[in-house]
Structure 1
Amino acid sequence: MPAALALGLVPFLLALAACGGDERDYTVPTSLCGTPVDSGLLEPLLPAGKEIGQETGFSGQEGPKQMCTVRVDGKAWLLTHGEWREGGYTALDAVRDRRGRGGEHAVDGGKIAYWDQGAATVVPCRSEKWKAQTFSVVVESVYRDGRKGDSDALKAFVESYGKAVAERLPCA
C-alpha cells in the first residue's frame, strides 16, 4: 500500500512543481516610470516571474518621445510610448505608426485603437513649444513567447494609463 500511495503522489508532486513557474514573486507596480497606474489593470499584462524592473527613455527632436520599458526577469515585456502630435491625430494613427502591418481596430468612438499585442489612445493637450494639439500613448506587449496578448486588458489599461499621463503633461 505505501508503494501505491507513493506512486499516486508522483503525478501530484510533478504538477505542483510545474505550477511553481506560474507564480509572481514580485509586486505589481503602482506606477510606470513615474506615472501612477492602476495595478489591478496592469496585473493581467504581466507574466509570472521573480523580478520586475523599469527603464525610462526620451528621444526626438520634434518633441520628447517618452518611453517606459517594463522588464520581467530581464526580458522586455511591456513598452509604453508617448509622443506629441498634431491636431486630428487619432488613436488608430498611433497604432498604425507603431505597428503598420494591418489588423488594427478602433473602439469607443475612436478614442482607443488596438491590435493583438498593444493598444493606443490620444489625449488632447496643446503645447506651443512642440507645436502639438494632442499626445499619443501606446502600450505594447513586446515579449509574449508566441502567446497572443489580451486585447481587453490592453484596452482597459491604455484608457486608464492615458488619463494618468494626461494629468502629468504640461498642457497649455
Structure 2
Amino acid sequence: MTLAGALALSACSGGDGEAEKKYTVPSALCGISLDPELLDAFLPGGDSVSVKPSSPNGGTKRCDVIVDGDISVRQVQAWWSNGESASTVAAGYDKMDDGQVTDDDRYLYSGTGSVGKTTTSCKSSDHPDQTLYAVVQVFTPDRSDSGAMKRLITAYTKALEDSDECR
C-alpha cells in the first residue's frame, strides 16, 4: 500500500478510537486555498462540516470550521499596528499556551494555536499603517500537535500573502 493510501485509510478508519470522518475536509478557509491535510490533523470525526465566515469588526475576518454543529477550528485575519510581534498578537487570543516563536519572529505556534505575520509586501489601502496577521485556534478536544500547527500556520500565512487580501 502506498503511503498516501495508508494515510487516507488511517484518517477514515479511526483506528485509534477516533470517530470516522464522514465529511470532506475543506480545501479553503473563507477564500484562502489550503492543503486539506494541514487542517485534517485538528478536526474531529463526524458527519458534516461547514465553514462560516464573519467580520466581527472593520479590520478582522473570521472563518469558523464547524463539525456537527461545534466550532473545531477558527482562522482569523487581523490587521495590527506595524511593529507588533507575533507574541504580542498571540496574547490577544486563546489557545496559544506555551507557544514557541520561530527564529525570524514571524510565527508563534503551540499545539492548539498559532499566529503568522505577513511580509511587508502585504499592504492594504484600508489599513496603511498596519500589518496583516493570520491566527489559527483549535477548539477540538484532545487535538494538539505543535509540529502540524507550525506547518499549518506557515502555509496559511503564505497563502494569505498570495491572496487578494494583500493587494
State TM-score, norm by structure 2: 0.80
Equivalent residue in structure 1 for 2:146, among 137, 146, 151:
151
**Matches of residues 125-164 of structure 1 in structure 2 within 5 Å?**
125-144=122-141, 147-164=142-159
How many residues were matched structurally? 152
What residue number does 1:165 align with? Answer: 160
What residue number does 1:89 align with? Answer: 84
In the alignment, structure 1 segments of 5+ residues that lack a partner are 1-15
In the alignment, structure 2 segments of 5+ residues that lack a partner are 1-12
Tell me if 1:107 matches 2:98.
Answer: no
> Judging changes above 3 Å, is the alpha-carbon distance between structure 1 residues 148 and 159 closer, same or farther for their aligned structure 2 residues?
same
Q: Note the aligned Cα RMSD (angstroms).
A: 2.4
Q: Which has the larger radius of gyration?
A: 1
> Judging changes above 3 Å, is the alpha-carbon distance between structure 1 residues 44 and 102 closer, same or farther for their aligned structure 2 residues?
closer
Runs of 4+ in 1 over 4 A off after TM superposition: 18-21
Percentage of identical aligned residues: 26
> Judging changes above 3 Å, is the alpha-carbon distance between structure 1 residues 169 and 91 closer, same or farther for their aligned structure 2 residues?
farther
Answer 1 or 2: which has greater helix percent. Answer: 1
Residue 100 (structure 1) shift: 9.1
> Judging changes above 3 Å, is the alpha-carbon distance between structure 1 residues 24 and 85 closer, same or farther for their aligned structure 2 residues?
same
Tell me if 1:76 matches 2:71.
Answer: yes
| 1:130-156 Cα distance to aligned partner (Å, 9 max, x none) | 233410110000231xx2511111111
